[in-house]
Structure 1
Amino acid sequence: MEWFGAGDYDAARFVLQRGIALLYLVAFVVVLRQFRPLLGEHGLLPVPRFLELAGGRAGPTLFRRRYSDRLLLAVAWAGVVLALSVVVGLPQSGPPWVPMLVFLAMYGLYLSIVNVGQVFYGFGWESLLLEAGFLAAFLGSDEVAPPVVVIFLFRWLVFRVEFGAGMIKMRGDVVWRDLTALYYHHETQPMPGPLSWFFHHLPRPLHKVEVAANHVTQLIVPWLLFAPQPVATFAAAVVVVTQGWLVLSGNFAWLNWLTMVLAFSAVSDDVLGRVLPRGDAAHAPTPVWFVVVVLAVGAFLVVLSWWPARNLVSKRQAMNASFNRWHLVGAYGAFGSITRRRSEVVVEGTEDDDPFTTDWHEYEFRGKPGSVDRWPRQYAPYHLRLDWGMWFLALGSPSQHRWFTMLLRRLLEADGPTLRLLAHDPFEGRRPRYVRARVFRYRYSTLDELRRKHRWWARQEEGLLVAPQDLASMRRLG
């Protein structure tokens, strides 16, 4: 069945399987380190309460009948083991059904987590990782040639990520059309990285060139992914380079990293085979059962593609939308609008019995701006979910208020798991008497301010979000 296999994409399969598995590994590690204080039995948004209220609307999940933190740990550790096995290449060395089962298991385990993750898992890259893992299940093993159907479905996925992002920008904020978006983006993005300050201070004419190049990359280049070689490889290289540029300029969890991995579906062995394993040139005959399964899955995904394809041409294009509970063949995109100024919620506590004291100490979060003299760190592809929630909170998102109230209560209780989500507890495990939350406007420091004061940020108070609260008052609220 020579028509079925893409024999010149063995190296691409090598990158796809291991790269996707590596990002699943990161995702499951994030679950182990953050899920319980955020969403566990005693979390900020407890899953048992969510399931009680949502019922069948929660979507497919292993936690439907019963959630426990112990079961969550079992699911996450199983995901870690499965992902590691693919990274080192164990399932790929067997028959095609072995990596198929492993990837489907990882997909099912992570789907169970995402569908109960509420606002902390409400990101487009969760669906992107799920869809990528599902597709990877049908790439086969080293015994057989990579199915050409799956290779092109991966390209269709990259196309939706890039072209969807390009269209949402053109239909959205005027700053994308007049090429001024990067006057603001690096300063106001959710979680700046260590180089974001430098990107922000590039000359404004260069910022306009960057935006124009972004439009070319997202609106024109994705079509070339379906062209014959070497054009498709060239298009993939452009995607990888531009996504790498985004990795350098900010922290967007695994969105950019995964997009780079997926782009390798358009790179032929003539390029990748020089540095990566090309597999056995004489593949074993593809089993009939595998052909039937792949063609059936391919037909199913083509049918599901109607909704995202229609969304791409819609004047009311949805961004990061799932059209089914399985998070398959979704719509993607990012930053359809750009905020012009940065607000940050700063949480403080005091051990003083007087709520009107001036002796307040700031809690430091790991990734979001806090202390003005702290240089932002690189965290991506690791995902700091609490920090992202704090960014949305500062935008005034009502969906964030419930968990934030519970966060303040946990700080008053000096809850250990919650405090471990932070970079610094000013009370070193002791209970504060009061907590409060203030809103500040942040801007990057100028070069002169950085030289003289060694500060990356300048900030000015805008107002009080939560007045001083003690534990008794927070218990009444929550």
Structure 2
Amino acid sequence: MQWFTAPEYWLTRLVVQRALAALYLVAFLAAANQFRALLGERGLLPIPRFLAWAPFRRAPSLFHLHYSDRFFALTAWTGAVISAAILVGAADLVPLWAAVLLWLVLWALYLSIVNVGQLWYGFGWESLLLETGALAVFLGNSSTGPPVLVMWLFRWLVFRVEFGAGLIKLRGDPCWRDLTCLYYHHETQPMPGPLSWFFHHLPKPLHRAEVAANHVAQLAVPVALFTPQPVASVAAGLIIVTQLWLVASGNFAWLNWLTIVAAFAAVDGSRAADVLGLPKPPAQPATPLWFEALVLAFVAGVAVLSYWPARNLVSRGQVMNYSFNRFHLVNAYGAFGSINRIRTEIVVEGTDEPEITPDTVWREYGFKGKPGDPRRLPRQWAPYHLRLDWLMWFAGMSSIYAESWFVPFTAKLLHNDRSTLKLLRSNPFPGTPPTYVRARLYEYRFTSWRELRRTGAWWERTLIHEYLPPVTLRHLDSDMYHP
């Protein structure tokens, strides 16, 4: 069928697939580096314990067949190797069926991780990666033209990401409607980046203009993705620019980068190739009938599954970042329906003194991404995902988010657990473990220009209250928490 493929999108597909492979690589590396402390057999939320009560139908995963920390590591590193191979072009060097299989294996491996990841994998960009990865399975490779319908499904995905986020804002916090949300957001967002302090100190009229521009970018521009070229390319370009603005102003793992990748699918590759002076691709053979049938079946399935997220978009009770099925296909997205006005941070400290007195010296644990030392400029981590740091932000807002893992976390610190300490930037007790660990809740705010020049501190913090009183191993049931 001649209408089935769009050869002029060859460059578009190339960029989308290589960039997506790079993001898969980051996701699998993050899983390999962090799982032992968070989800391993002796982790904070052990996978074996989860699998004991979660059946396959509730959480489809390869790990229902077998789980061990070695097997998880093998799964994560296998995904990383396949991602790296596709990134350098392996999927274009093999037959079409093999390319389909490579992308399908990536999707299945990451689905297996997400579905046993519990709180640590409860973020919207996990579903976004899986949905984008599922679309990539049906994009084909250089031996066939890009399927037209799949390219349109990418536009439908970007529309839901952007339009859903825009609607949840208008329906949520009033500060989005009075254009004042950015008075607070850069300071209170989950994980500020190195430029967030400067974004926060932009003039308030510019903040209001940013919010207004955001409403246009999320509520009007996505509609233009479904118009003919070159308007669709212009709309994709505007979305990409706004996402790069978000990349510069904070750390949101691979959320923004995935949105950029999906939006690029609407860019007219032939025109881009002409601008770049690239040669025309060689003529491609006819698409195999089996692949056409496979793509059409997948598109039909997406059409059916689209009912639930489409209904969610028009619902007054709109939910965000929600999967309507266990395979994370055709999801609902959205972000920051409400904005915090103040920033609360948990500071974890320890001491090696045998008894606590008014003169006890407490030493602070340093985290890689979340604010701690007021004189430390926030670092850029995205698209890498620091899962512990993100959950610490949620725990600072409400202890409900920490009920299942924070006390076990302190038990790990009291044992100087190696895998847990690898998640941190600094351990103030490198020789012997602390005798006591405590946590305190602080309000953090960005310093002013004058305060920064005078003190060299990016943050000022004020103690709110004690979050966790000093505990020792005598206070904790160490057998329960498996330190």
User: What secondary structure does 1:175 align onto?
Assistant: helix
Contact kept in structure 1, 2:353 and 2:360, CA below 8 Å: no
Matched residue, 1:157: 157
Matched residue, 2:292: 291
Matched residue, 1:352: 353
Q: How does 1:357-372 map to 2 (within 5 A)?
A: 357-372=359-374
1:388 corresponds to which of 390, 403, 406: 390
User: What secondary structure does 2:63 align onto?
Assistant: coil
Q: Structure 1 429/175 Cα, relative in aligned 2: closer, same or farther at 3 Å? A: farther
| Aligned counterparts of 2:280 and 2:81: Cα–Cα separation in 1 | 24
| Aligned counterparts of 2:57 and 2:395: Cα–Cα separation in 1 | 25
Deviates more, 1:264-273 or 1:464-473: 264-273
User: What secondary structure does 1:441 align onto?
Assistant: strand
* TM-fit CA distance, 1:142: 0.4
Q: Structure 1 11/474 Cα, relative in aligned 2: closer, same or farther at 3 Å? A: same
| Aligned counterparts of 1:222 and 1:429: Cα–Cα separation in 2 | 55
* TM-fit CA distance, 1:81: 1.1
User: What secondary structure does 1:78 align onto?
Assistant: helix
Q: How does 1:182-331 map to 2 (within 5 A)?
A: 182-273=182-273, 274-275=275-276, 280-331=281-332
Which residue identity lines up with residue 39 of structure 1 in the other structure?
A: L
* TM-fit CA distance, 1:277: 6.1
* TM-fit CA distance, 1:371: 0.3
Which residue identity lines up with residue 31 of structure 1 in the other structure?
A: A
* TM-fit CA distance, 1:279: 6.4
Which residue identity lines up with residue 305 of structure 1 in the other structure?
A: S
| Aligned counterparts of 1:392 and 1:429: Cα–Cα separation in 2 | 31
User: What secondary structure does 1:20 align onto?
Assistant: helix
Matched residue, 2:446: 444
| Aligned counterparts of 1:277 and 1:339: Cα–Cα separation in 2 | 48
Matched residue, 2:8: 8
Q: Structure 1 410/279 Cα, relative in aligned 2: closer, same or farther at 3 Å? A: farther
User: What secondary structure does 2:211 align onto?
Assistant: helix
Contact kept in structure 1, 2:179 and 2:208, CA below 8 Å: yes
Matched residue, 1:420: 422
* TM-fit CA distance, 1:99: 1.7
User: What secondary structure does 1:215 align onto?
Assistant: helix
Q: Structure 1 151/452 Cα, relative in aligned 2: closer, same or farther at 3 Å? A: same
| Aligned counterparts of 2:68 and 2:340: Cα–Cα separation in 1 | 39
Which residue identity lines up with residue 384 of structure 1 in the other structure?
A: L
* TM-fit CA distance, 1:403: 0.7
| Aligned counterparts of 1:25 and 1:62: Cα–Cα separation in 2 | 19
Can you give the 5+ residue segments of structure 1 that lack an aligned partner in the other structure? none
Contact kept in structure 2, 1:103 and 1:133, CA below 8 Å: yes
| Aligned counterparts of 1:227 and 1:71: Cα–Cα separation in 2 | 47
User: What secondary structure does 1:435 align onto?
Assistant: strand
Contact kept in structure 1, 2:187 and 2:196, CA below 8 Å: yes
Contact kept in structure 1, 2:391 and 2:401, CA below 8 Å: no
Matched residue, 1:455: 457
| Aligned counterparts of 1:296 and 1:233: Cα–Cα separation in 2 | 28
Matched residue, 2:375: 373
* TM-fit CA distance, 1:208: 0.2
Q: Deviations over 1:355-407 (max 9, x none)?
A: 23430000010000000000000000000000001000001051322211110
Matched residue, 1:75: 75
User: What secondary structure does 1:461 align onto?
Assistant: strand
User: What secondary structure does 1:334 align onto?
Assistant: coil
Deviates more, 1:113-122 or 1:274-283: 274-283
Contact kept in structure 2, 1:28 and 1:80, CA below 8 Å: yes
User: What secondary structure does 1:266 align onto?
Assistant: coil
User: What secondary structure does 1:225 align onto?
Assistant: helix
| Aligned counterparts of 2:166 and 2:407: Cα–Cα separation in 1 | 36
Matched residue, 1:18: 18
* TM-fit CA distance, 1:280: 2.6
Matched residue, 1:119: 119
| Aligned counterparts of 1:436 and 1:189: Cα–Cα separation in 2 | 25
Contact kept in structure 1, 2:396 and 2:441, CA below 8 Å: yes
| Aligned counterparts of 2:304 and 2:55: Cα–Cα separation in 1 | 28
Matched residue, 2:468: 466
Matched residue, 1:93: 93
| Aligned counterparts of 1:298 and 1:352: Cα–Cα separation in 2 | 64
Q: Structure 1 328/186 Cα, relative in aligned 2: closer, same or farther at 3 Å? A: same
Number of residue pairs the alignment of both structures matches: 478
Contact kept in structure 2, 1:142 and 1:279, CA below 8 Å: no
User: What secondary structure does 2:64 align onto?
Assistant: coil
| Aligned counterparts of 1:128 and 1:23: Cα–Cα separation in 2 | 11
| Aligned counterparts of 2:204 and 2:477: Cα–Cα separation in 1 | 50
User: What secondary structure does 1:328 align onto?
Assistant: coil
* TM-fit CA distance, 1:429: 4.3
* RMSD of aligned alpha carbons: 1.3
Contact kept in structure 2, 1:14 and 1:277, CA below 8 Å: no
User: What secondary structure does 2:412 align onto?
Assistant: helix
Contact kept in structure 2, 1:434 and 1:469, CA below 8 Å: yes
Contact kept in structure 2, 1:436 and 1:469, CA below 8 Å: yes
* TM-fit CA distance, 1:176: 0.4
* TM-fit CA distance, 1:475: 2.0
* TM-fit CA distance, 1:271: 3.5
1:404 corresponds to which of 399, 403, 406: 406
Taking structure 2 as the reference length, the TM-score comes to 0.97
Which residue identity lines up with residue 325 of structure 1 in the other structure?
A: R
* TM-fit CA distance, 1:272: 2.6
* TM-fit CA distance, 1:45: 0.5
* Percent identical residues: 57
Contact kept in structure 1, 2:10 and 2:270, CA below 8 Å: no
* TM-fit CA distance, 1:321: 0.3
User: What secondary structure does 2:462 align onto?
Assistant: strand
| Aligned counterparts of 2:251 and 2:181: Cα–Cα separation in 1 | 18
Q: Structure 1 302/465 Cα, relative in aligned 2: closer, same or farther at 3 Å? A: same
User: What secondary structure does 2:329 align onto?
Assistant: coil
Contact kept in structure 2, 1:4 and 1:148, CA below 8 Å: yes
